[in-house]
Amino acid sequence: MQSYVLHLECSKTGAVYPADQIHNLSDEEMPLLVRYDLKKIKQELSKDSWCMESAPGFWRYQALLPVSKAASKISLGEVVTPLIPLKRSSNILGGKPGNIVVKDEGRLPTGSFKARGLALAVSMAHQFGIKHLAIPTNGNAGAALAAYARQANIKATVFCPDDTPKVNVQEIQLQGADTYLVNGLINDCGKIVLEGRKKAGWFDVSTLKEPYRIEGKKTMGFELAEQMDWTLPDAIFYPTGGGTGLIGMWKAFAELKELGWLAGKLPKMIAIQSKGCAPIVNAFNKGLDHAPLWNNAQTVASGIRVPVAIGDFLILDAIRQSNGCALAVEDEHIINTRNMISKKDGLLLCPEGAATAAGYQIALEKKIINKDEKVVLFNCASGLKYPMPDSNQTIDKNSVIKYSRFIK
């Protein structure tokens, strides 16, 4: 397989690291980013020829991915996730039908966008011969690691906060990972993983603590650009915890822009958090470069309950460079929005995805965007993986059924 990787680069200092060695963070304890020979890609490929049509899902973007050995490309049948317009709920949200589109990442293996990042992290671990991976998770990342690691025959150990949705924990365990519940939050789980690097000998695949999950997540940007005929929307609303996806998409857009394959301006990147855990919103509003730890983090959107993020400065950079913003929404607003969209459009969003729709309403109210602008909301996982309301309507088969009750 042709590889266009040049080297890895410290996201803070720009220091260069060899790409053929195993790395976690830079010497400055900062995330490492993969850099490609974009000049060579531009000479050898074109916008119309660079995608591998025969490859599943995001693997079609091989030229801008780091895996160089075909045997290490670990796949579970990835798909291009669809763009779904909100035909009926757009007006309720305050927008125009056709201008609000959901990119539904719940169609990926293991039911979430975490498949993108972990597929790349596991593939590179396989390429480097790593035998044991560990991760802290609020649910979906652990599920993706468990599945892809099993496919690659690599041992996986997963640590979850003890209030992680039960279905997520069951999924992780059933897919072969050693699974542990921790009496704390995801950052507490992360401390265990960090300490275990030396004591247990595993490789840490925590968010942005290795270079390759971001490479998987950036494929959301490639895919979106291709689906929209290389002209991006006016704004992207993204549920933000550790922020790998937002950072990754911004990296993807920069690469495509340098290659000359994107038309028009780049979108506003709008990070959405819950008011119960909003460190990025707090830092953005205060003009800070880093987001202090958020104490007593609580939200129904467990995937964005991340009290502190190592890539906080990269998230804030992307938001500011794009003239975007960071917004916080109430949990009640999240659940009400999820329920409304599912009943109006038949699209069951996860709470984190519903948070982006709630955030869209706030952005309209604050005049950050207007209803004539085209936006993409990212639904990061299947709503089937989260608690849902019980059904309480019953029929007694032995009684006379009044069929008039069904006519409305």
Q: Rounded mean pLDDT of 240-259? A: 96
Residue 263 pLDDT grade (very low, low, confident, very high; cuts 50, 70, 90) = confident
Q: What is the pLDDT of residue 56?
A: 85
Q: For residue 64, which phi and psi values (nearest 5 degrees)? A: -115, 35
Distance, CA of 228 to CA of 269 (rounded, Å): 17
Q: Cα angle vertex 125, ends 124, 126, to 5°?
A: 85
Q: What digits encode the pLDDT tens for the residues 122-176?
A: 999 999 999 999 999 999 999 999 999 999 999 999 999 999 989 999 999 999 9
Burial class of 277 by CB neighbour count within 10 A (0 to 12, 13 to 18, 19+): buried
Q: Rounded mean pLDDT of 74-100? A: 96
9, pLDDT greater than 90: yes
- Asked if 33 contacts 211 with a C-beta cutoff of 8 angstroms, the reply is yes
Question: How many CB atoms are closer than 10 A to CB 73?
Answer: 19
Q: Which of 298, 358, 296, 302 is nearest to 327 (CA)?
A: 358
Domain range list for the chain: 83-110+213-384
Q: What digits encode the pLDDT tens for the residues 93-120?
A: 999 999 999 999 999 999 999 999 999 9
- Asked if 106 contacts 43 with a C-beta cutoff of 8 angstroms, the reply is no
Identity at 62, one-letter amino acid code: Q
Q: For residue 16, which phi and psi values (nearest 5 degrees)? A: -100, 140
Q: What is the pLDDT of residue 366?
A: 97
Q: What is the pLDDT of residue 319?
A: 98
pTM listed for this prediction:
0.94
Distance, CA of 379 to CA of 359 (rounded, Å): 13
Tell me if the domain spanning 83-110+213-384 has CATH number 3.40.50.1100.
yes
Q: For residue 121, which phi and psi values (nearest 5 degrees)? A: -65, -45
Which residue's structure tokens are 């030229």?
63
Distance, CA of 173 to CA of 366 (rounded, Å): 43
Q: Which of 166, 182, 164 is nearest to 174 (CA)?
A: 166
Q: What is the pLDDT of residue 54?
A: 84
Q: Rounded mean pLDDT of 338-345? A: 97
Q: What is the pLDDT of residue 208?
A: 94
Q: What digits encode the pLDDT tens for the residues 285-304?
A: 999 999 999 999 999 999 99
Q: What digits encode the pLDDT tens for the residues 17-55?
A: 999 999 999 999 999 999 999 999 999 999 988 998 888
Distance, CA of 111 to CA of 46 (rounded, Å): 32
Distance, CA of 126 to CA of 137 (rounded, Å): 21
Q: What is the pLDDT of residue 262?
A: 95
367, pLDDT greater than 90: yes
Q: What is the pLDDT of residue 53?
A: 83
389, pLDDT greater than 80: yes
